[in-house]
């Protein structure tokens, strides 16, 4: 993307649909890529109108250029499971060339290279390995919860969601614990739009990414000379098909794991609190039956949909739900919409902690690129809620949640809460 395009996207509100009635504008003017409605939490009626009236929708004019939106659960499944038609290259973001997405990593590779690279790293987050981490994670969760103030207001995002996710990443990478905030910073930088939040300019972002590269290169060099460990860096440094990885690719994969595990988990941690506060009946169900936690975790992840979409690029001319898609077109699967598709998901707008088939949601994607960290994410949330319920009667939201300016990462920047102890 050119400087001009970035400036337009970041500085001009001309693309924003905030405050507009989705039913009072021509269908072709609806542009889900603009972050405005997502931050304002006004996206749902736009999604619904497109699902009903234009399930495969073409947006001709937007700050990020023309793109297709795929709105229905089954159509999203079709796109997600047809990598020969819908490619993950060059990127899975709507914008073509934010530098960090230009770093090669297997999320934006097609088979066979994708499969080769993923196979090497996935065992570190495989359930058998996670089981070994469970005790350590529970301990860290307990420490965080025990350090929180009871009965006075604080920000749940900073003190719990971010802290916990950061500690978890540090555990996975066996990253120096005292430097763990760097992980969060790099992840924030990698996904930021310059001028909105953590970075002001592209240069600043580039500097942070360089710092990240240097740091991880040092860790790599240290671990490559030691016996293989079970942390991710060691696995990459010793893995047969990763140990000769070019530095850019190594960094790409590292950033993928940091970003993949960071915002998503963080925002599911916050999202669960929001969902339970908005649905007191469900909160009561949980208090009465803690065995619902596992099911609730899947429901939180569906309800929140921490990543609103993934993008594909059509490799060939094709037809999807009666629409002719041309080779080279951008195709965006709106998981945030598919997860609210009443044709597949009963009472899709309700948060329902004992929902049957709660695991059948789109938040992790499906097919070859299905989230590699899905069991890790679920485990973190399960442990967190088990520990919360042992301590607190309620995590009460006491102010308006602030949402993130992004149409990709669906989440919260501030969540003022007060903790009520078990009586």
Partner 1 sequence: MVNILFIEHDGTEHSVTVEPGGSVMLAAVTNGVPGIDADCGGSCSCATCHVYVNQEWLKRMDPVNPIEEAMLSMSSDRKENSRLSCQITVTDELDGLVVTTPEFQF
The minimum distance between CB 31 and partner 1, in angstroms, equals 29
Contact partner at residue 363 from ligand HEM, partner 1, none, CB < 5 to 8 Å by partner kind: ligand HEM
The single residue among 55, 194, 306, 401 that binds ligand HEM, judged by CB under 6 A, is 306
Write each residue from 70 to 109 as x if it is in contact with partner 1 (CB under 8 A), else as -, in one continuous string: -------x--xx----------------------------
Looking at residue 397, the DSSP 8-state letter turns out to be E
Contact partner at residue 106 from partner 1, ligand HEM, none, CB < 5 to 8 Å by partner kind: ligand HEM
Task: Check: CB of residue 419 under 8 Å from CB of residue 148.
Answer: yes
The single residue among 57, 118, 312, 403 that binds partner 1, judged by CB under 8 A, is 118
- Tell me: does residue 265 bind ligand HEM (CB under 6 A): yes
- Taking residue 8's Cβ as centre, other Cβ atoms within 10 Å add up to 16
- Tell me: does residue 338 bind ligand HEM (CB under 6 A): no
3-state helix, strand, coil in the chain (%, to 5): 50, 10, 35
Whose CA is closest to 268, among 240, 298, 289? 298
Q: Which of residues 96-115 bind ligand HEM (CB under 6 A)?
A: 106-107
Secondary structure class of 334 (helix, strand, coil): strand
The minimum distance between CB 62 and partner 1, in angstroms, equals 29
Contact segment (CB under 6 A) with ligand HEM among 129-137, 264-272, 348-356, 410-418 equals: 264-272
Dihedral sign from CA coordinates of 222, 225, 227, 233:
positive
Q: How far apart are CA 280 and CA 283, in angstroms?
A: 5
Task: Check: CB of residue 415 under 8 Å from CB of residue 270.
Answer: yes
- Tell me: does residue 275 bind ligand HEM (CB under 6 A): no
The minimum distance between CB 399 and ligand HEM, in angstroms, equals 24
Q: How far apart are CA 168 and CA 174, in angstroms?
A: 10
The minimum distance between CB 131 and partner 1, in angstroms, equals 8
Residue 65 or 367 having the CB closest to partner 1: 367
- Tell me: does residue 123 bind partner 1 (CB under 8 A): yes
Residue 137 or 419 having the CB closest to partner 1: 137
| Full DSSP string of 82-104 | -TTTEE--S-SSSSS--HHHHS-
Contact partner at residue 115 from partner 1, ligand HEM, none, CB < 5 to 8 Å by partner kind: partner 1
- Taking residue 92's Cβ as centre, other Cβ atoms within 10 Å add up to 22
Our measurement of the distance from residue 179's CA atom to the centroid of its chain's CA atoms, rounded to an integer in Å, reads 23
The minimum distance between CB 288 and ligand HEM, in angstroms, equals 26
Dig out the tokens for 164 from the structure.
């916990």
Q: Phi and psi at residue 218, in whole multiples of 5°?
A: -65, -45
Contact segment (CB under 8 A) with partner 1 among 28-36, 114-122, 264-272, 393-401 equals: 114-122
Whose CA is closest to 117, among 242, 228, 217, 237? 242
Contact partner at residue 419 from ligand HEM, partner 1, none, CB < 5 to 8 Å by partner kind: none
Sheet containing strand 154-155, strands side by side: 154-155, 416-421, 392-397
Size of the site for partner 1 (CB under 8 A): 19
> Residue 177, class by beta-carbon neighbours within 10 Å (0-12 exposed, 13-18 middle, 19+ buried)?
exposed
Residue 8 or 110 having the CB closest to ligand HEM: 110
Q: How far apart are CA 419 and CA 120, in angstroms?
A: 42
- Tell me: does residue 128 bind partner 1 (CB under 8 A): yes
Q: Helix H segments across 225-373?
A: 232-238, 247-278, 280-288, 293-304, 335-338
Residue 74 or 390 having the CB closest to partner 1: 74
Tell me how far apart the terminal alpha carbons of the chain are, to the nearest angstrom.
56
Residues forming the site for partner 1 (CB under 8 A): 77, 80-81, 111, 115, 118-119, 122-123, 126-128, 359-360, 366-368, 370, 375
Residues forming the site for ligand HEM (CB under 6 A): 88, 92, 106-107, 118, 125, 256-257, 260-261, 264-265, 268, 301, 306-307, 310, 363-365, 369, 371-373, 376-377
């Amino acid at each position: 993307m050119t400087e001009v395009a970035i400036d337009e996207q970041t500085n001009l509100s001309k693309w924003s649909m905030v405050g507009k009635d989705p039913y009072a504008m021509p269908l072709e003017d609806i542009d889900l890529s603009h972050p405005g409605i997502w931050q304002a939490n006004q996206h749902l009626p736009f999604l619904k109108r497109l699902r009903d009236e234009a399930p495969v929708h073409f947006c001709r004019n937007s700050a990020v250029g023309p793109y297709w939106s795929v709105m229905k659960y089954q159509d999203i499944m079709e796109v997600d499971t047809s990598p020969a038609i819908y490619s993950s290259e060059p990127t899975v973001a709507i914008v073509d060339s934010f530098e960090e997405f230009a770093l090669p990593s297997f999320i934006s590779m097609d088979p066979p290279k994708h499969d080769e690279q993923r196979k090497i790293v996935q065992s570190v987050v495989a359930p058998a390995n996670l089981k070994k981490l469970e005790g350590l994670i529970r301990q860290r969760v307990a420490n965080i919860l025990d350090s929180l103030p009871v009965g006075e207001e604080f920000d749940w995002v900073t003190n719990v969601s971010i802290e916990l996710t950061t500690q978890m990443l540090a555990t996975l990478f066996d990253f120096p614990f005292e430097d763990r905030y760097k992980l969060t910073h790099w992840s924030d930088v990698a996904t930021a739009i310059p001028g909105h939040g953590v970075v002001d300019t592209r240069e600043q972002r580039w500097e942070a990414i360089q710092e990240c590269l240097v740091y991880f290169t040092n860790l790599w060099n240290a671990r490559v000379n030691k016996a293989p460990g079970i942390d991710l860096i060691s696995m990459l440094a010793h893995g047969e098909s990763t140990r000769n990885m070019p530095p850019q690719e190594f960094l790409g994969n590292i950033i993928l794991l940091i970003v993949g595990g960071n915002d998503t988990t963080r925002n599911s941690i916050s999202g669960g609190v929001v969902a339970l506060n908005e649905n007191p009946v469900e909160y009561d169900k949980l208090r009465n039956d803690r065995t619902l936690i596992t099911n609730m975790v899947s429901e939180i992840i569906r309800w929140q949909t921490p990543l609103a979409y993934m993008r594909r690029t059509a490799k060939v001319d094709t037809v999807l739900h009666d629409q002719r898609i041309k080779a080279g077109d951008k195709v965006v699967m709106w998981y945030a919409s598919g997860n609210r598709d009443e044709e597949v998901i009963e009472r899709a707008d309700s948060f329902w902690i004992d929902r049957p088939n709660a695991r059948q949601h789109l938040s992790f994607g499906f097919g070859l690129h299905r989230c590699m960290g899905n069991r890790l994410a679920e485990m973190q949330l399960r442990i967190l809620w088990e520990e919360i319920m042992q301590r607190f009667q309620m995590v009460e939201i006491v102010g308006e949640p602030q949402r993130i300016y992004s149409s990709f990462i669906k989440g919260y920047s501030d969540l003022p809460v007060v903790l009520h102890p078990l009586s």
